[in-house]
Amino acid sequence: MTALAQGIILVLVWGFIATLVMTAALFIAQNVGWSRLNLPYLVGAFFTGSRHESNVLGFMLYMLGGWLFAFLYYIVFSVAQHEPQRKVEPDRTRHVVRRERHGADRQDYRR
């Protein structure tokens, strides 16, 4: 199995799990009374007027949106991983910070 195929499978699995957990958290918050927001219903109500159909269609579209978000997340991080790293000069940075901290740039300090 190639690295790309493994990445796609991982995105599908973890995107599904993450979206399911988020949906469950929103559902629990709504039923406990902490929130009145139901995003899957809101998404489904945009496309149909029936409450039952809105819940079913909204859940399906919400899951597809979660997978889309997971794929975008995967693409951003895979591209960022392959960016060339800029060299940082740690010694120079450390000396600048040390000089600033101890007041080495003051005129009265230099004699």
For the segment 33-62, what is each residue's pLDDT rounded down to a tens digit? 898 888 888 889 999 888 889 989 999 999
Q: Locate 1 and state its tokens.
A: 């199995």
CA distance 88 to 15: 35
Task: State both tokens at 16.
Answer: 């599904």
What was the pLDDT predicted at 83? 59
Domain ranges of the chain: 3-84
* Integer Cα distance of 93 and 72 in angstroms: 35
pLDDT above 80: residue 28? yes
Q: How confident is the model at residue 17 (pLDDT cuts 50, 70, 90)?
A: very high
Residue 104 has a pLDDT of: 54
Longest dimension (CA), the chain: 83
Say what the pTM is. Answer: 0.62
- The arithmetic mean of pLDDT across residues 15-25, rounded, is 90
- C-alpha dihedral over 29, 24, 59, 14, to 10 degrees? 140
